């Protein structure tokens, strides 16, 4: 049954995405670890971590596209799930430091010793075990999303109002995680990691392994997402995106459908955050900043909403642009990002992936299919 | 009249919007297998009546019973639909990005829970049922077309087909022929008549020749309550009806 589910989602687009990811998973390790450093084909470990970071963002974008592109839920707080997944991983990495911290306390992380805490708070229990942290990476964002979605969807909060409360959610978490007495390191967050699963987190091989793990997570999430989209459940999602009340009158409990997609999406975002933290070496409350979630929306819009592959493409391209800008012209980045969003909204309503169809429609002698750009209308049903 | 053995029983149903009474102590009874046409001037409350039956709007007062004992005023839309009440909206709402086939597959009577639809694989029975509906609605040749690219009339038929696929006990059809050509109107009347019998149907319509073609009992609504009931000829002869509706 599981096989059938994955096969269902395997269309041509999925084939291309998965092939590219497979090539990356092989080529990047080879080019980093085995190609000599003086060869033009050599990749530095720095580049590998940068690519790994882009792919974590791509996974966040994929998760966001699942709810925005296919259910019409414009989340302006998805980075919250990403950050929570990141914190869960960060807690594991903190506990791996053990007595090697500045204060040499075998159990308490440095910041707790600094705050004069005497024992580990209960919610840090278990995070010395990798498997436990890995489960929490899925469970905590998933549970938060489920609870949030349960109330929001049951109360029939939709559209802009829903977007605003997702933004409020991430903002509230931002403020909470800034507080020292929350026990998550306050505004410094969690950092100074030493190793992961016993391997030195700075070692080249570890960095490459983290990259490969990120590629694998992205590929698996892509297969899950496209399997869901291709299933009848996915068709219900698209239907309710465009005409929710019509779907209700057909006897579908649309709230539980949205809740399913929303929770799944939050779990994926959590995994993205968990893979991000060991590669960048830090997690702090700034990940909860409303701007992070809004950036993720822009990645999806640039690549093409409701295409899955477009979300990945958009996240990678925009972040490459960001790396370039923040190096060369840091003060211009926000303007460039804002301009990009406006330009995409005006000229590329279907994003980069929709560009092909858009050009084809403009070609003389070809009649545009009226549906090739059916926009999900924000209608509430007749 | 008692609610026993009725399919749908509305008694003293009132709804007001900001003090304006859209339904005013409306009472209406439908027997199983019956087809009924509802006519009435714009704003008479016909669509609102469908809203209260399907759970979209909650009545302020009154009783709405389905099959004699199920109180519809307490249920949510999806639950009411699953009891066997299907609805076609005034404005055709098909799922535009989906194909004609997928629209029918979504409507088809089948388990509605997310985990069931996630693992759903179409069965031979489901397939032949969809084929049958494509046939009845004359959409066989268009099965893989995106629903958004259909003509207005085809969308209306697809929507009626989706209702059939749901296999409801009661169909509520709101102004099915608005904006249709004469030929399409005629075919729609045939379509609805072929459905009646197996299902109970309430049709709201303005088009008198269409109502005549249906040849069923007519209820005239005005200002939120029933003005007259009977055959089309009988109600057309009713002086009150002439004054408030037909005369204009
Ligand atoms: N949601 C609503 N809010 C306010 N007024 C409404 C609402 N729905 C219907 N009405 C009013 O109730 C009256 C009956 O409307 P409706 O049932 O749509 O009439 P009909 O379908 O018979 O033309 C109209 O005057 C309409 O303006
Ligand atoms: Mg109406």
Q: Which residues line ligand 1 (CB under 6 A)?
A: B 17, 22, 40, 42-48
Q: Enumerate long-range contacts of B181-190, CB under 8 Å, 24 or more apart.
A: B181/B153, B184/B153, B184/B156, B185/B209, B185/B210, B185/B213, B186/B213, B187/B138, B188/B153, B188/B156, B188/B157, B188/B160, B189/B213, B189/B214
Question: Bigger pLDDT: A138 or A11?
Answer: A138
Residue A377's pLDDT is 40
- Structure confidence by residue, pLDDT tens digits, A279-315: 999 999 999 999 999 999 999 999 999 999 999 999 9
For the segment B11-26, the average pLDDT, to the nearest whole number, is 94
Give yes or no for residue B246 having a pLDDT over 80.
Answer: no
From atom 17 of ligand 1, which residue's Cα is the shortest distance away?
B45
CATH of the domain at A134: 1.10.3470
Residue B102's pLDDT is 97
Domain span at A320? 2-347
* Closest C-alpha among A87, A83, A81 to residue A64: A81
- Structure confidence by residue, pLDDT tens digits, A226-235: 999 999 999 9
Give yes or no for residue A368 having a pLDDT over 50.
Answer: no
- Structure confidence by residue, pLDDT tens digits, B83-92: 999 998 888 8
Q: State chain A's mean pLDDT as an integer.
A: 91
Chain A residue with the nearest C-alpha to that of B147: A371
* Closest C-alpha among B47, B69, B65 to residue B56: B47
Contact between chains at A370 and B149 (C-beta distance less than 8 A): yes
Q: Which of B77, B87, B148 sits opposite A374 (nearest CB)?
A: B148
A contact test, residue of B106, B110, B169 with most A CBs within 10 A: B106
For residue B174, the ligand 1 atom closest to its alpha carbon is: 21
A256/chain B closest Cα distance in angstroms: 7
Question: Bigger pLDDT: A358 or A115?
Answer: A115
The burial class, CB within 10 Å (0-12 / 13-18 / 19+), for B196 is middle
CB contacts of B107 in chain A (<8 Å) are 250
Domains recognised in chain B with CATH numbers: 8-246 (3.40.50.300)
Low-confidence winner among A128-132, A163-167, A198-202, B179-183 (lowest mean pLDDT): B179-183
Q: Which of A253, A256, A369 sits opposite B149 (nearest CB)?
A: A369
Cβ < 5 A residues, ion ligand 2: B 47
Residue A364's pLDDT is 58
Angstrom distances, CA of residue A82 to CA of A138, A160, A162, A284, B62: 10, 22, 19, 12, 50
Give yes or no for residue A380 having a pLDDT over 60.
Answer: no
Cβ–Cβ under 8 Å, residues B113 and B162: no
For residue B46, the ligand 1 atom closest to its alpha carbon is: 22
B contact test, residue of A1, A251, A357 with most B CBs within 10 A: A251
Low-confidence winner among A329-333, A367-371, B41-45 (lowest mean pLDDT): A367-371
Q: Which ligand is nearest to the CA of B57?
A: 1
- A94 belongs to a structural domain: yes
- A153 belongs to a structural domain: yes
Give yes or no for residue A371 having a pLDDT over 50.
Answer: no
Element (H, E) at B212: helix B208-214
- A125 belongs to a structural domain: yes
CB contacts of B82 in chain A (<8 Å) are 251
- A35 belongs to a structural domain: yes
Residue A99: count other Cβ atoms within 10 Å of its Cβ. 9
Phi, psi angle pair for A343, to nearest 5°: -60, -45
- Structure confidence by residue, pLDDT tens digits, A17-57: 999 999 999 999 999 999 998 999 999 999 999 999 999 99
From atom 11 of ligand 1, which residue's Cα is the shortest distance away?
B22
Question: Bigger pLDDT: A254 or B235?
Answer: A254
Q: Are strands A190-191 and A282-283 parallel, antiparallel or unpaired?
A: antiparallel
Phi, psi angle pair for B202, to nearest 5°: -115, 120
pLDDT classification of B1: cutoffs 50, 70, 90: low
Q: What distance in Å separates the CA atoms of residue A62 and residue A117, rounded to the nearest whole number?
A: 40
For residue B40, the ligand 1 atom closest to its alpha carbon is: 22
Give yes or no for residue B10 having a pLDDT over 60.
Answer: yes
CB pairs under 8 A between A and B: 95
- A369 belongs to a structural domain: no
Query: What ranges in chain A are assigned the alpha helix state H?
Result: 2-8, 12-29, 45-71, 78-97, 110-114, 130-154, 159-178, 204-230, 232-249, 254-280, 290-303, 309-328, 333-347, 355-362
Q: How far is the CA of B139 from the centre of ligand 2 (A)?
A: 27
- A373 belongs to a structural domain: no
Q: Which of B97, B113, B119 sits opposite A242 (nearest CB)?
A: B97
A233 and B CB contact within 8 Å: yes
CB proximity list for B214: less than 8 A, separation 6 or greater: B35, B37, B189, B192, B193, B203
- A375 belongs to a structural domain: no
Give yes or no for residue B216 having a pLDDT over 80.
Answer: yes
Mutating to test ligand 1, I would choose from B45, B54, B59, B172 the residue with most ligand atoms within 8 A of its C-beta, which is B45
- Counted residue by residue, chain A has a size of 382
Cβ–Cβ under 8 Å, residues B173 and B88: yes
For residue B42, the ligand 1 atom closest to its alpha carbon is: 23
Chain B residue with the nearest C-alpha to that of A241: B95
Give yes or no for residue A5 having a pLDDT over 90.
Answer: no
- A370 belongs to a structural domain: no
Angstrom distances, CA of residue A151 to CA of A148, A172, A259, A372, B78: 6, 17, 10, 35, 18
Cβ–Cβ under 8 Å, residues B106 and A236: yes
CB proximity list for B37: less than 8 A, separation 6 or greater: B203, B204, B205, B211, B214, B216, B217, B218, B219, B232
Question: Per the structure, how many domains does chain A have?
Answer: 1
Q: How far is the CA of B206 from the centre of ligand 2 (A)?
A: 10
CB contacts of A256 in chain B (<8 Å) are 113-114
Q: What distance in Å separates the CA atoms of residue A87 and residue A288, rounded to the nearest whole number?
A: 11
A contact test, residue of B50, B56, B78, B170 with most A CBs within 10 A: B78
Contact between chains at B119 and A371 (C-beta distance less than 8 A): no
**Helix, strand, coil % over all residues of chain B, rounded to 5:** 40, 25, 35
- Three-state SS string over B12-81 comes to EEEEEECCEEEEEEEEEEECCCCEEEEECCCCCCHHHHHHHHHCCCCCCEEEEEECCCEEHHHCCHHHHH
* Closest C-alpha among A192, A202, A181 to residue A103: A192
- Structure confidence by residue, pLDDT tens digits, A312-322: 999 999 999 99
Residue B247's pLDDT is 52
Q: How far is the CA of B132 from the centre of ligand 1 (A)?
A: 36
Residue B237's pLDDT is 86
pTM of the entire predicted model: 0.90
A contact test, residue of B54, B96, B145, B170 with most A CBs within 10 A: B96
Q: What distance in Å separates the CA atoms of residue B221 and residue B39, rounded to the nearest whole number?
A: 6
Residue A260's pLDDT is 98
A114 and B CB contact within 8 Å: no
Q: Record the tokens describing residue A162, joined without a space.
A: 């829903």
* Closest C-alpha among B245, B166, B207, B158 to residue B37: B207
Q: How far is the CA of B13 from the centre of ligand 1 (A)?
A: 15
Q: Which ligand is nearest to the CA of B40?
A: 1
pLDDT classification of B2: cutoffs 50, 70, 90: confident
Give yes or no for residue A378 having a pLDDT over 50.
Answer: no
Start-to-end CA distance of chain B, whole Å, equals: 33
Q: Which ligand is nearest to the CA of B17?
A: 1
Give yes or no for residue B171 having a pLDDT over 60.
Answer: yes
Contact between chains at B117 and A4 (C-beta distance less than 8 A): no
């Amino acid at each position: 049954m599981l096989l059938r589910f994955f096969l269902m989602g395997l269309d041509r687009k999925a084939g291309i995405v998965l092939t590219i990811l497979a090539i990356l998973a092989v080529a990047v390790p080879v080019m980093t670890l085995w190609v000599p450093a003086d060869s033009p084909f050599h990749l530095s470990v720095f580049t590998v971590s940068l690519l790994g970071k882009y792919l974590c963002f791509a996974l966040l974008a994929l998760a966001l596209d699942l709810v925005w592109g296919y259910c019409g839920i414009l989340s302006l707080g998805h980075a919250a799930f990403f950050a929570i997944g990141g914190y869960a991983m960060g807690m594991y990495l903190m506990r791996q430091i053990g007595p090697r911290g500045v204060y040499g306390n075998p159990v308490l992380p440095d910041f707790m010793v600094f705050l004069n805490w005497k024992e580990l708070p209960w919610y840090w229990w278990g995070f010395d075990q990798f498997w436990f942290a890995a489960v929490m990476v899925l469970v905590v964002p998933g549970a938060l999303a489920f609870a949030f979605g349960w109330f929001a969807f049951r109360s029939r909060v939709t559209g802009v109002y829903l977007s605003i409360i997702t933004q409020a959610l991430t903002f509230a978490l931002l403020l909470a995680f800034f507080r020292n007495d929350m026990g998550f390191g306050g505004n410094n967050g969690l950092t100074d990691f030493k190793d992961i699963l016993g391997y030195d987190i700075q070692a080249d091989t570890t960095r490459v392994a983290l990259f490969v793990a990120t590629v694998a997570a992205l590929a698996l999430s892509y297969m899950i997402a496209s399997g869901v989209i291709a299933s009848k459940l996915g068709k219900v999602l698209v239907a309710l995106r465009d005409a929710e009340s019509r779907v209700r009158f057909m006897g579908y409990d649309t709230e539980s459908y949205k809740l399913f997609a929303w929770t799944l999406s939050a779990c994926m975002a959590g995994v993205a955050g968990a893979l991000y933290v060991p590669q960048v070496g830090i997690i702090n409350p700034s990940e909860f900043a409303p701007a992070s979630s809004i950036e993720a929306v822009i990645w999806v819009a640039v690549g093409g909403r409701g295409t899955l592959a477009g979300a990945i493409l958009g996240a990678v391209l925009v972040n490459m642009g960001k790396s370039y800008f923040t190096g060369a012209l840091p003060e211009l980045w926000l303007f460039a990002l804002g301009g990009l969003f406006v330009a995409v909204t005006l000229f590329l309503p279907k994003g980069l992936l929709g560009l092909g169809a858009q050009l084809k429609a403009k070609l003389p002698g070809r009649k545009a299919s009226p549906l090739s750009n059916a926009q999900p209308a924000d209608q509430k049903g007749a | 009249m008692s609610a026993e053995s009725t399919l749908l029983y509305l008694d003293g149903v009132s709804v007001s919007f900001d003090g304006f009474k859209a339904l005013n102590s409306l009472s209406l009874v439908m027997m199983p297998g019956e087809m009924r046409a509802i006519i009435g001037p714009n704003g008479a409350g016909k669509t609102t009546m469908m809203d209260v039956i399907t759970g979209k709007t909650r009545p302020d007062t009154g009783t709405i019973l389905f099959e004699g004992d199920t109180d519809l005023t307490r249920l949510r839309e999806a639950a009411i639909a699953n009891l066997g009440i299907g609805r076609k909206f005034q404005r055709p709402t098909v799922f535009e990005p989906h194909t004609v086939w997928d629209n029918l597959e979504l409507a088809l009577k089948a388990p509605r829970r997310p985990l069931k639809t996630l693992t759903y694989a179409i069965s031979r029975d489901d397939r032949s049922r969809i084929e049958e509906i494509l046939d009845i609605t004359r959409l066989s040749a268009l099965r893989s077309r995106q629903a958004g690219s259909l003509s207005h009339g085809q969308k209306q038929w697809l929507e009626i087909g989706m209702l059939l696929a749901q296999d409801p006990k009661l169909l509520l059809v709101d102004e099915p022929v608005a904006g249709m050509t004469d030929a399409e109107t005629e075919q729609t009347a045939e379509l609805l008549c072929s459905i009646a019998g197996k299902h109970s149907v309430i049709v709201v319509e303005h088009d008198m020749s269409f109502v005549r073609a249906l040849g069923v009992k007519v209820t005239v609504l005005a200002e939120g309550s029933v003005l007259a009931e009977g055959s089309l000829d009988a109600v057309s002869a009713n002086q009150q009806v002439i004054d408030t509706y037909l005369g204009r």
